Amino acid sequence: MSNDDGFQAKGMRSLVDMLRDMADIIVCAPDGPRSGYALAFSANKPLTLTLRREEPGLEVWSSNGTPVDSLKLALNQFFTDRNPDMIIAGINHGDNASVNVHYSGTMGVAMEGCMKYIPSVAFSICDYSADADFSPMRPIVRRVVRRILDEGLPEGVCLNVNCPAIPSYKGIRMCRMAKGTWFNECVKEHHPRGYDYFWMVGEYKNDEPDQEDTDNWAINHGYVAITPTRVDVTHYEYLEELRKMNFDF
């Protein structure tokens, strides 16, 4: 397991509690928040691993790197003779629906696991608070994890699971990623020492709010959204069109 909120985040602690009786668990997560790191890894600084907790069936480690660094370190150091049965990311504080999938360090973990041919899933809740209530997710998390452990996933596909922040869900929907746009992303401020600086913030707009087959629609209407997500981003239909064009010198 890993995440982008840090090994000490309530979402990670809740995830461990939900699954401790189902498997031996190794957590390797950043030592603090790393939201927005996507698939970034550290190429210009040394990395460290710190053992934070050790009990029968559970080890919790932290790294000073990114979510993907943490996973790479875990696979390299703790799985020398075999792969783990599954990579689980989350539970993320905040949704990773729509285009957020491309920025998310949580989804970066799932994508990295997927690129290592390990069944991988990311869980998120639409609640950014540090003390978010993850309890309604428990049966969903256990059901999804059990199904993947039993049946696996297609090569090159991981699951992006997003849950609304409500006491109970209407059901589960299999969804596509909604089209959305972030805007007003930079807030300019002036420092007393005489220079301008910027905060990256932003507002999200669902560009197809009435499309009921999307992840945004599902979570906005009380459903859990499960979106199969591919490592291969090739647009095969347009690839065929490109092949018909003459780009030769």
pLDDT beyond 80 at 249: no
Tell me what the pLDDT averaged over the chain comes to.
95
In three-state secondary structure terms, 219 is helix
- CB-based contact 44:83 (threshold 8 Å): no
Mean pLDDT of 139-161: 97
Q: Pairing mode, if any, of strands 157-163 and 223-230?
A: antiparallel
Q: Please report which confidence band the pLDDT of residue 248 belongs to, taking 50, 70 and 90 as the band edges.
A: confident
Percent of the chain with pLDDT over 90: 95
Three-state DSSP at 100 gives: helix
Tokens representing 24 are: 């031996």
Overall pTM surpassing 0.85 (yes/no)? yes
Name 62's bridge partners: 29, 50
pLDDT tens for residues 163-193?
999 999 999 999 999 999 999 999 999 999 9
List, for residues 127-148, the tens digit of each pLDDT value.
999 999 999 999 999 999 999 9
Q: What is the mean pLDDT of residues 88-105?
A: 96
CA distance 57 to 24: 4
Helix (H) or strand (E) holding 122: strand 120-125
- pLDDT tens for 46-69 read 999 999 999 999 999 999 999 999
Outline where the chain has alpha helix (H): 10-19, 67-78, 105-115, 138-151, 215-220, 236-244
Per-residue model confidence (pLDDT) at position 247: 78
**Is the CB of residue 220 less than 8 Å from the CB of residue 102?**
no
Q: Distance between CA atoms of 149 and 45, rounded to whole angstroms?
A: 35
